[in-house]
Chain A
């Protein structure tokens, strides 16, 4: 009986040892920092949305500037040809 109890205790210790060894150790002290690590400071989604929004706005704005400049030149051409036709 005593021998069986000893084997059971031994088996428990053998099986429990790895589990106990893997358990994370508690912090013995806290280390304060004033800044968050760079990877946690800004969420990636905000940067990603900002990047894509900028691309679309930049392309649309450039297309609009071409359209505006073209309209101005064509208006000048029309007024010039009307002036010539009146003579």
Chain B
């Protein structure tokens, strides 16, 4: 994996550079015009935020159940990626909303629950950094609750009346928008996998360093 990392990162970089070309050639949404093109990175970032929160929750549950250090490494890496992609969603969403809805933010279910999901991931990271001994278990419990929030974020637009477009928008994208959307989604997914791999490697190296220090003290 380590040998494939740099070529894969180059591929992801090229895809990231080419995505705007595809997006520029893609169709506009009828009622929103130019600003609708934020969709191509906003929605995949939202998908990755939810995916990452689920991975973090499952890995944390495994850590609580089996005390597996590998699961803990996956959990902490996923929490950082949830925070990163959540931040992207929270920043690009209002930029889109200002033009489409005329407001930066609305405390409606989808936006509020996404914000809460992002806050849980940031809380996990603060707990892991500052809560001292036992922070691994406390953080893991927090991450499990964070992942329970994910299905509610997803279905919120279908259950409650919201300003946000429904979940049917992405599967029913017209051909002019489908290509750029799935290309952008594939680009961000590849980037997500690479960032996750690099972050897990960092945690593994930290664990090795801790073992070396312990061996040194002995």
Asked if A27 is at the interface (CB within 8 A of a chain B CB), the reply is no
- Contact indicator B98/A38 (Cβ below 8 Å): yes
- Contacting residues of chain B (61-108) with chain A, CB-CB under 8 angstroms: 80, 84, 87-88, 91-92, 95-96, 98-99, 101-103
A68 nearest CB across to chain B (Å)? 10
Asked if A59 is at the interface (CB within 8 A of a chain B CB), the reply is yes
- Contact indicator A56/B16 (Cβ below 8 Å): yes
Asked if A52 is at the interface (CB within 8 A of a chain B CB), the reply is yes
Known: A62-B84, A73-B209, A81-B212. A48 touches B34 (CB 8 A): yes
- Contact indicator B195/A48 (Cβ below 8 Å): no
List chain B residues, Cβ under 8 A from A56: 16
C-alpha gap A54/B87 in the complex (Å): 10
Asked if A31 is at the interface (CB within 8 A of a chain B CB), the reply is no
- Contact indicator A44/B45 (Cβ below 8 Å): no
- Contacting residues of chain A (32-87) with chain B, CB-CB under 8 angstroms: 37-39, 42, 44-45, 47-48, 50-52, 54-56, 58-59, 62-63, 66-67, 69-70, 73-74, 76-77, 80-81, 83-84
Q: Which residue of B lies closest to A61 (CB)?
A: B84
What is the size, in residues, of chain B's interface with A at 8 Å between Cβ atoms? 36
B23 nearest CB across to chain A (Å)? 9
- Contact indicator A77/B202 (Cβ below 8 Å): no
Q: Which residue of B lies closest to A73 (CB)?
A: B205
List chain A residues, Cβ under 8 A from B80: 62
- Contact indicator A51/B191 (Cβ below 8 Å): no
- Contacting residues of chain B (189-218) with chain A, CB-CB under 8 angstroms: 191, 195, 198-199, 201-202, 205-206, 208-209, 212-213, 216
List chain B residues, Cβ under 8 A from A38: 98-99, 101-103
C-alpha gap A55/B88 in the complex (Å): 6
Binds A, one of B36-44, B161-169, B172-180: B36-44
List chain B residues, Cβ under 8 A from A62: 80, 84, 195
Ordered nearest first, which 10 A-B pairs have the shortest CB separation? A38-B102, A44-B34, A44-B35, A51-B92, A47-B95, A51-B95, A73-B205, A66-B198, A51-B38, A70-B202
Contacts from B to A (Cβ < 8 Å): 16, 20, 33-35, 37-38, 41-42, 45, 80, 84, 87-88, 91-92, 95-96, 98-99, 101-103, 191, 195, 198-199, 201-202, 205-206, 208-209, 212-213, 216
A-B contact pairs, 19 of them (CB 8 A): A38-B98, A44-B33, A45-B34, A47-B35, A47-B95, A51-B92, A54-B88, A55-B92, A59-B195, A63-B198, A66-B198, A70-B205, A77-B208, A77-B212, A80-B213, A80-B216, A81-B212, A83-B216, A84-B216
